Structure 1
Amino acid sequence: MPTTRVRISGGDALVDYDRTGTGPGLVLVHGTAATREQWLPLTEAVADRFTVVAPDYSGSGGTTDHGGPLTLADLADEVLAAADHAGLETFHLVGHSLGAAIATHLAGSHPARVSSLVLHAGWAHTDTRMRAEFTYWLDLLRADAEHGTSLFARMLPLMAFGPRYWDRTDTAAYEELVRALATGPAPGTDRQIAVDLAVDLRPLLASVTAPTLVLASAHDRAIDAAQQRELLAGIAHSRYQEIDAGHGAPVEDPDGFVARITAFLTEQPAAERPMADPAAAA
């Protein structure tokens, strides 16, 4: 897999990413505690039409860094570095959860680079209720580390899934999922949650010029409707859609999630500038 080096606030980061397909650039940014593998269904659906770049940012997957505190700007710089290294001059950009916050920061800081923007479960700023939620996540991770419990994994389905999941599952299936999740949180999840706690994109929203889809989940426990309204009010060329799922819509309703994003991307014109030769960017 390709790797690129980028300077972030605490030192250097070596960013791993996947590059798949051919066509205009499409960059995908995963959420807290996830990796670029979150995007495999969407990548498979669009790789015949887009050059898909899916990085791991610090704290996830194969990406390594200095091990200290991170900022939203750091993670946006890592995503942009992957796009640069892959030879993408302009690109469509999709983010989920913290990935949506990263994508918004990138689109507001480098508007000429972003052809269109999809924000699923994004938010404008971390308010008091969200701060309480994210602090609780950190408390669970610390308890798990100290006592060998699986509290964070047990919480994730409760936070992430809506009625679509709970109506078709039972206790045994839930417990099996908890066991699987307990082995999987990215080692740097606590560092990523610290970034969640500090999100404030309000100064950048007016700088986002790309056509934007604000994609909300109808049963999102983590991100409420007021945050979606703030994104819509702050981003000039934005529109709203909703999916009948919880915060974890990419897992709860993967087909519906992919369908909404691909429909939006299909409406967008191709990137204005051609892709560079990725070998020249290496």
Structure 2
Amino acid sequence: MGMKSLPHRRAGQGFPLVLVHGYLGGSAQWEAEIAHFCDRFDVIAPDLPGFGDASDQAGCDRIGDMADRTIGLLDELGVDAFILMGHSMGGMIAQEMAAKSGPRVSRLVLYGTGPLGLMPDRFEPIGVSRERLTSDGVAKTIERIGATWFRKGDASAGFRLIVEIGAKANQQAALAALDAMAGWDGRSALKALEMPTLVVWGHEDRSYRWPQVETLWKNLPNATLSVIPGASHAAHLEKPRLFQAILEDFLSD
């Protein structure tokens, strides 16, 4: 294939737990989760092509291609079965990975995400994000979009981290990912995802509204729903202890 391997963070031992970041994210956003779960899981957090520590790579314009690249990394690492968590766009990638690799995914966590890439009722249409990204550049875009991921906007504790990670993305990947999301619809695959699945959602998420979350919860055969009060799209940074406790409960069930 000749494709570069995806950079990733990895720590711990035990059953593999794979954490997939979302749009303008990176593996660095999971540091607290890696630290929390590495005593009993082999935690693996990739950087998607064009984002975070993979900013030297060309980005993908299909969710399926991002899923393939992530599965490729796990194949390279010799990881067969794993627990999979995806956040936001990473949740779309996780749905696609679960559809493609079925029984390898023992449990699935879909966090702050939905089954439809062209997000209805998003804080702004994807086309607007594309225009603004083209005129403003990546660094300004993550400042602007990242503020909508927190209930307290740019005054939130995790905001600077998000901006720092997001600013690493390359412009081509940032634009390609908007196309990837706009072109993706995972609704028809939901019924086939039979693994135990936790749907986690921040009550005030402005990217993925309740109808998206409800579609996941009602159509996944084996889904549990957990709503985090007083949190928005970056609930893992806004309410880390609560977020980790909810994951803990699901993973030890």
Per-residue CA distance 1:201-222 (angstroms, 9 max, x = gap):
0121112121000111100111
Question: Which residue among 204, 214, 233 is the counterpart of 2:218?
Answer: 233
Per-residue CA distance 1:17-55 (angstroms, 9 max, x = gap):
222110011111001101111111111001010111111
| Aligned CA distance change for structure 1 residues 266 and 144 (closer, same or farther; 3 Å) | same
1:218 partnered with 2:218: no
Q: Would you say the 8 A contact 1:144–1:151 is kept in 2?
A: yes
Equivalent in the alignment of 2:247: 261
Aligned-residue CA RMSD (Å): 2.9
Looking at structure 1, the residues matched to 163 and 185 of structure 2 have their Cα atoms a distance apart, in angstroms, of 33
Query: Where does structure 1 lack aligned partners over 5 or more consecutive residues?
Result: 1-6, 268-282
Looking at structure 2, the residues matched to 114 and 51 of structure 1 have their Cα atoms a distance apart, in angstroms, of 14
Per-residue CA distance 1:153-201 (angstroms, 9 max, x = gap):
13421x2112xx36x949xx99x94995598251122222222222200
Question: Which residue among 130, 134, 142 is the counterpart of 1:142?
Answer: 134
C-alpha deviation, 1:128, in angstroms: 4.5
C-alpha deviation, 1:73, in angstroms: 0.9
Equivalent in the alignment of 1:271: none
1:160 partnered with 2:146: no
Which structure 2 residues correspond to residues 160-199 of structure 1 after superposition, within 5 A? 160-162=149-151, 165=152, 169=155, 177=160, 181=164, 184-187=167-170, 188-199=173-184
Looking at structure 2, the residues matched to 149 and 47 of structure 1 have their Cα atoms a distance apart, in angstroms, of 31
| Aligned CA distance change for structure 1 residues 27 and 131 (closer, same or farther; 3 Å) | same
The runs of 4+ residues in structure 1 deviating greater than 4 Å are 176-183
Question: Which residue among 237, 249, 255 is the counterpart of 2:235?
Answer: 249
Which structure 2 residues correspond to residues 96-107 of structure 1 after superposition, within 5 A? 96-107=87-98
Equivalent in the alignment of 1:86: 77
Q: Would you say the 8 A contact 2:10–2:42 is kept in 1?
A: yes
C-alpha deviation, 1:131, in angstroms: 9.8
C-alpha deviation, 1:143, in angstroms: 1.6
Please, which moves more after superposition, 196-205 or 47-56? 196-205
Bigger Rg, structure 1 or 2:
1
3-state SS of paired residue (1:204)? helix
Looking at structure 1, the residues matched to 140 and 124 of structure 2 have their Cα atoms a distance apart, in angstroms, of 20
Q: Would you say the 8 A contact 1:92–1:116 is kept in 2?
A: yes
Please, which moves more after superposition, 255-264 or 210-219? 255-264
Looking at structure 1, the residues matched to 123 and 188 of structure 2 have their Cα atoms a distance apart, in angstroms, of 19
3-state SS of paired residue (1:14)? coil
Looking at structure 2, the residues matched to 265 and 181 of structure 1 have their Cα atoms a distance apart, in angstroms, of 30
State the AA in 2 paired with 1:217. G
| Aligned CA distance change for structure 1 residues 95 and 127 (closer, same or farther; 3 Å) | closer
State the AA in 2 paired with 1:259. A
Equivalent in the alignment of 1:46: 37
State the AA in 1 paired with 2:73. A
TM-score (structure 2 length as normaliser): 0.87
C-alpha deviation, 1:136, in angstroms: 2.0
| Aligned CA distance change for structure 1 residues 101 and 12 (closer, same or farther; 3 Å) | same
How many residues are aligned here? 249
Which structure 2 residues correspond to residues 18-33 of structure 1 after superposition, within 5 A? 18-33=9-24
Looking at structure 2, the residues matched to 43 and 178 of structure 1 have their Cα atoms a distance apart, in angstroms, of 16
Q: Would you say the 8 A contact 1:29–1:36 is kept in 2?
A: yes
Query: Where does structure 2 lack aligned partners over 5 or more consecutive residues?
Result: none
Please, which moves more after superposition, 188-197 or 102-111? 188-197
Question: Which residue among 113, 122, 129 is the counterpart of 2:113?
Answer: 122
Please, which moves more after superposition, 176-185 or 27-36? 176-185
State the AA in 2 paired with 1:233. K
TM-score (structure 1 length as normaliser): 0.79
Q: Would you say the 8 A contact 1:12–1:65 is kept in 2?
A: no
